[in-house]
C-alpha cells in the first residue's frame, strides 16, 4: 500500500461511524485529518491524534449548506497548515426508513440536501483548494510516474442503495440520493482530471453503525440472507478500499465506483 505520510485529508461526518473509521484508516498511514460534522467528535475520532501521531481538527459544518461548507473547508485547510490538501472524503449522510407513498417533500428534500448536495458541495470546495495549490515536490525517481498520474483524490461515499433497492427498508429517496452520488463521480472525474485530481465513489453494503443499529431485526436479516459472507460489514472493513483510493496505488483509477458489500449485489 502506498504511503499517505504527510498528506492532508478533509472528511465529512467523521465524528462517528464509517467516516470515523475511514479517518482512522488514513491516519494510521500518516495522513492528517480534518473532520467536518454537525455533531462533536466521539472518542474514537478524538483519540486519532494520540493514537497515530498526526494532526487532526474538528470544524462544525452542516454539509447541506453550501456557504457553511465553503467556510468550514477553508478553516480546516488553514488549521492543518494551509499548504496541502490531498484527499477529500465526502461521507456525511442520513437515512430515513419511510415508505415511498408516505414520504413527505420535507423528508425527501432533507435527504437530497445532505446526501447528494452535501457531497457535491464538499467535493467542489475541496477541489477548488486542490487546484489553487502548487503541486507538491516529487522525488526524482518518481517524476515520470507523477507526471502521468494523480496524487489528489476525492472519494464519495455512495451505497449499495445506488445499485439496487433495499427491500427491508422504505428507502426510495435514500436510494435516489445515493444514485446521485454514484452518478456524479464520472463527470467530476472527467472535469478534474486535467488538474491531477481523481474522483471515485465507494458503495458500502450493510454496515453496523448508529445508522443501522436502530433496526436490529433488519440487521439480523441482512447478515443472514443478504450477504455471501453471512455478516454485516464492520466499519473497519471499508478502510482498505478508502486507503487504496486515497493513495497513489490507485493512480489509474478514476470515475468509477467500488462496491464493498460482502457479495450482496452479486447474489
Ligand X SMILES: NC(=O)c1ccc[n+]([C@@H]2O[C@H](COP(=O)([O-])OP(=O)(O)OC[C@H]3O[C@@H](n4cnc5c(N)ncnc54)[C@H](O)[C@@H]3O)[C@@H](O)[C@H]2O)c1
Active site residues: 174
Please choose, from the candidates 206, 158, 153, the residue with its C-alpha nearest in 3D space to the C-alpha of residue 182. Answer: 158
Residue 211 is a binding residue for ligand X (CB under 6 A): yes
Residue 209 is a binding residue for ligand X (CB under 6 A): yes
Least distance in Å: CB of 42 to ligand X?
8
Least distance in Å: CB of 128 to ligand X?
19
Please choose, from the candidates 243, 115, 124, 253, the residue with its C-alpha nearest in 3D space to the C-alpha of residue 172. Answer: 115
Query: Residues 4, 9, 19, 73: which binds ligand X (CB under 6 A)?
Result: 19
* Phi, then psi, of 95 in degrees rounded to 5: -135, 155
- Rounded to whole angstroms, how far apart are CA atoms 4 and 8? 8
Residue 39 is a binding residue for ligand X (CB under 6 A): yes
Please choose, from the candidates 19, 238, 235, the residue with its C-alpha nearest in 3D space to the C-alpha of residue 118. Answer: 19
Sort strands 257-260 and 197-204 into parallel, antiparallel or unpaired: parallel
Of 85-93, 101-109, 136-144, 183-191, the window that binds ligand X (rule: CB under 6 A) is: 85-93
Residue 155 is a binding residue for ligand X (CB under 6 A): no
Q: Are the beta carbons of 76 and 142 closer than 8 angstroms? A: no
Please list, in sequence order, all residues whose beta carbon lies within 8 angstroms of the beta carbon of residue 143, skipping any fewer than 6 positions away. none
| Residues 212-241: x where in contact with ligand X by CB under 6 A, - otherwise, as a string | x-----------------------------
Residue 17 is a binding residue for ligand X (CB under 6 A): yes
Least distance in Å: CB of 32 to ligand X?
19
Least distance in Å: CB of 215 to ligand X?
10
Between residue 90 and residue 109, which ones bind ligand X under the rule CB under 6 A?
Answer: 91-94
Task: Pick the closer one to ligand X by CB: 34 or 146.
Answer: 34
Least distance in Å: CB of 193 to ligand X?
25
Run of H or E residues at 203: strand 197-204
Please list, in sequence order, all residues whose beta carbon lies within 8 angstroms of the beta carbon of residue 195, skipping any fewer than 6 positions away. 127, 130, 131, 152
Sole residue written with cell 470515523: 20
Residue 260 is a binding residue for ligand X (CB under 6 A): no
Sheet with 56-60: list strands edge to edge.
Answer: 56-60, 32-37, 8-12, 87-90, 152-157, 197-204, 257-260
Task: Pick the closer one to ligand X by CB: 57 or 146.
Answer: 57
Query: Residues 8, 10, 61, 72: which binds ligand X (CB under 6 A)?
Result: 61
Residue 12 is a binding residue for ligand X (CB under 6 A): yes
By CB under 6 A, name the binding residues for ligand X: 12-13, 15-19, 37-39, 61-64, 91-94, 114, 118, 157, 159-160, 204, 206-207, 209-212
Amino acid at each position: 500500500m502506498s504511503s499517505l505520510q504527510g498528506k492532508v485529508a478533509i472528511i465529512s461526518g467523521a465524528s462517528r461511524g464509517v467516516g470515523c473509521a475511514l479517518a482512522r484508516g488514513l491516519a494510521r498511514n500518516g495522513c492528517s485529518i480534518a473532520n467536518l460534522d454537525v455533531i462533536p467528535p466521539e472518542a474514537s475520532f478524538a483519540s486519532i491524534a494520540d493514537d497515530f501521531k498526526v494532526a487532526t481538527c474538528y470544524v462544525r459544518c452542516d454539509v447541506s449548506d453550501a456557504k457553511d461548507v465553503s467556510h468550514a473547508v477553508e478553516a480546516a485547510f488553514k488549521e492543518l497548515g494551509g499548504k496541502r490538501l490531498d484527499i477529500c472524503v465526502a461521507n456525511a449522510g442520513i437515512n430515513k426508513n419511510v415508505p415511498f407513498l408516505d414520504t413527505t417533500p420535507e423528508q425527501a428534500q432533507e435527504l437530497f440536501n445532505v446526501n447528494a448536495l452535501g457531497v457535491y458541495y464538499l467535493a467542489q470546495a475541496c477541489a477548488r483548494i486542490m487546484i489553487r495549490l502548487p503541486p507538491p515536490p516529487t522525488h526524482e525517481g518518481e517524476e515520470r510516474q507523477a507526471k502521468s498520474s494523480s496524487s489528489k483524490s476525492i472519494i464519495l461515499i455512495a451505497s449499495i442503495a445506488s445499485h439496487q433497492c433495499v427491500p427491508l427498508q422504505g428507502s426510495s429517496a435514500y436510494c435516489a440520493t445515493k444514485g446521485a452520488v454514484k452518478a456524479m463521480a464520472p463527470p467530476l472525474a472527467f472535469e478534474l482530471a486535467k488538474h491531477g485530481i481523481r474522483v471515485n465513489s465507494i458503495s458500502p453494503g450493510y454496515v453496523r453503525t448508529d445508522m443501522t443499529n436502530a433496526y436490529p431485526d433488519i440487521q439480523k436479516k441482512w447478515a443472514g440472507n443478504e450477504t455471501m459472507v453471512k455478516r454485516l460489514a464492520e466499519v473497519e472493513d471499508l478502510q482498505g478500499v478508502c486507503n487504496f483510493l486515497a493513495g497513489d496505488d490507485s493512480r489509474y483509477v478514476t470515475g468509477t465506483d467500488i462496491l464493498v458489500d460482502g457479495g450482496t449485489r452479486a447474489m
